[in-house]
């Protein structure tokens, strides 16, 4: 390694542990079918309108997409009732997180503040840029420690990341709490509210500050097509930013990172109200049903406004063993040891009614043999 030009930040990275694929598990255990409820993907798959749009656009992929994706940006802006200048689309919202971290903090001078056990990319991208990350512990119920976050922000933070609804806990603070927190932050820092799962919340008006964007000029919102719109594999997300910041991000944005198929599928998905409505109904009903039954089986279930549920198995059953037992029966959920540092917890994504029923049946078989 010594002879290659690699920055010390890069050498300090541990190898990525990828999730298990359906095919791997099928072969390892000799199973005919394997169900994945691990990555918070859309249980209904892809919107039919988005699929048609992908077919229609296939002959055009020899061309570059139009730089800046103006038609997509218009459609997103219309969805939120905002001027298109506020919207910056990206190759997944991951790309917007990356751009913000490269654009805002100066390494050595600023830090980035996150809650402990948050979505890993905030700290991965920060560390890669040589920007210090301050992790603030959560309260035992996984709610956010507002005072602790504010104090950490006062020590030179350029960015504070907040995930609402939170991944992996599903916790979602009321909009009034987030508003008070936003107002308490020093003028020198920016609050990034990652709303990847906000569509799944029971009542967005009660939880999202996005409709009040104009009141919060130091706040950025992140949204994605990967979850409620079912386009995880196409990579499409966006930031909603104050105008000077949106301008700055557009200047450093690689011009073609949102590809032609993602752009066309995104526009079509935004028009597919029926698919979104059905997705949200499936997730909200499945979430309530799973939570009730998992509690009846002795699990500790955390309230969720997202399309997944954080839980702990009964004390007699180690989380690791329950994960392995489900895996051997062909059901993949998400252990939270790697990435989130929560070895005693598991996360299950809400599936179709049939997938939810299968998960509950296997859970019962394992916990109450």
Least distance in angstroms from the C-beta of 235 to ligand PLP: 6
194 near ligand PLP (CB under 6 A): yes
- Looking at the Cβ atoms of 93 and 208, the one nearer to ligand PLP is 93
CA distance linking residue 224 with residue 230, whole number of Å = 10
- Looking at the Cβ atoms of 199 and 293, the one nearer to ligand PLP is 199
Is the bond leading into 168 cis (omega within 30 degrees of zero)? yes
Name the phi and psi angles at 238, rounded to 5. Answer: -160, 155
Q: Which two tokens stand for residue 105?
A: 């903090």
Q: Which two tokens stand for residue 223?
A: 């949204």
226 near ligand PLP (CB under 6 A): yes
Per-residue x/- track, 25-64, ligand PLP (CB under 6 A): ---------------x------------------------
- Binder among 94, 98, 199, 264 for ligand PLP (CB under 6 A): 94
Q: Which two tokens stand for residue 104?
A: 């805002």
Least distance in angstroms from the C-beta of 287 to ligand PLP: 16
92 near ligand PLP (CB under 6 A): yes
Stretch that binds ligand PLP, among 74-82, 91-99, 246-254, 309-317 (CB under 6 A): 91-99
* Helix or strand holding residue 274 (H, E): helix 273-296
Least distance in angstroms from the C-beta of 317 to ligand PLP: 26
How many residues sit close enough to ligand PLP to count as binding (CB under 6 A)?
14
Q: Of the candidates 161, 243, 152, which has an alpha carbon nearest to the alpha carbon of residue 195?
A: 161
CA distance linking residue 132 with residue 87, whole number of Å = 28
79 backbone φψ class: left, alpha, beta (φ>0; ψ -120 to 50)? alpha
What 8-state DSSP symbol labels residue 198? Answer: G
- Looking at the Cβ atoms of 65 and 362, the one nearer to ligand PLP is 65
196 near ligand PLP (CB under 6 A): yes
- Binder among 42, 47, 69, 93 for ligand PLP (CB under 6 A): 93
Which residues, other chains included, contact 316 with Cβ-Cβ below 8 Å and sequence gap of 6+? none
CA distance linking residue 300 with residue 296, whole number of Å = 10
Task: Provide the binding-site residues for ligand PLP, judged by CB under 6 A.
Answer: 40, 92-94, 119, 163, 167, 194, 196, 224, 226-227, 232, 237
């Amino acid at each position: 390694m010594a002879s290659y030009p690699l920055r010390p930040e890069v050498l300090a990275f541990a190898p990525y542990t990828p999730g298990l694929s359906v095919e791997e598990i099928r072969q390892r255990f000799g199973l005919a079918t394997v169900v994945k409820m691990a990555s918070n993907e859309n249980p209904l798959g892809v919107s039919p309108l988005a699929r048609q749009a992908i077919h229609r656009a296939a002959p055009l992929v020899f061309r570059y997409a139009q730089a800046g994706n103006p038609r997509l940006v218009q459609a997103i802006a219309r969805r939120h009732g905002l001027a298109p200048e506020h919207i910056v689309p990206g190759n997944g919202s991951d790309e917007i997180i990356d751009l913000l971290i490269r654009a805002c903090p100066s390494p050595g001078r600023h830090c980035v503040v996150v809650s402990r056990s948050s979505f890993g990319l905030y700290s991965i991208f920060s560390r890669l840029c040589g920007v210090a990350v301050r992790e603030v512990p959560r309260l035992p119920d996984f709610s956010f420690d507002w005072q602790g976050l504010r104090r950490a922000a006062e020590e030179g933070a350029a960015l504070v990341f907040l995930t609402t609804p939170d991944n992996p806990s599903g916790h979602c603070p009321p909009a009034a709490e987030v508003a008070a927190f936003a107002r308490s932050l020093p003028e020198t820092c920016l609050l990034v509210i990652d709303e990847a799962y906000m569509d799944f919340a029971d009542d967005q008006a009660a939880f999202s500050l996005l409709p009040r964007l104009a009141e919060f000029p130091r706040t950025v919102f992140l949204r994605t097509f990967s979850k409620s719109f079912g386009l995880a594999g196409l990579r499409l997300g966006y930031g909603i930013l104050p105008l000077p910041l949106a301008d700055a991000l557009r200047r450093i944005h690689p011009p073609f990172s949102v590809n032609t198929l993602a752009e066309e599928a995104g526009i079509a998905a935004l028009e597919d109200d029926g698919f979104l409505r059905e997705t949200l109904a499936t997730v909200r009903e499945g979430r309530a049903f799973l939570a009730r039954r998992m509690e009846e089986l002795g699990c500790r279930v955390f309230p969720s406004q997202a399309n997944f549920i954080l839980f702990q198995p009964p004390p007699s059953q180690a989380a690791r063993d329950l994960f392995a037992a489900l895996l051997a029966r062909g059901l993949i959920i998400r252990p939270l040891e790697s990435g989130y540092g929560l070895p005693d917890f598991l996360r299950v994504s809400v599936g179709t009614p049939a997938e939810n029923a299968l998960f509950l049946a296997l859970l019962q078989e394992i916990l109450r043999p």
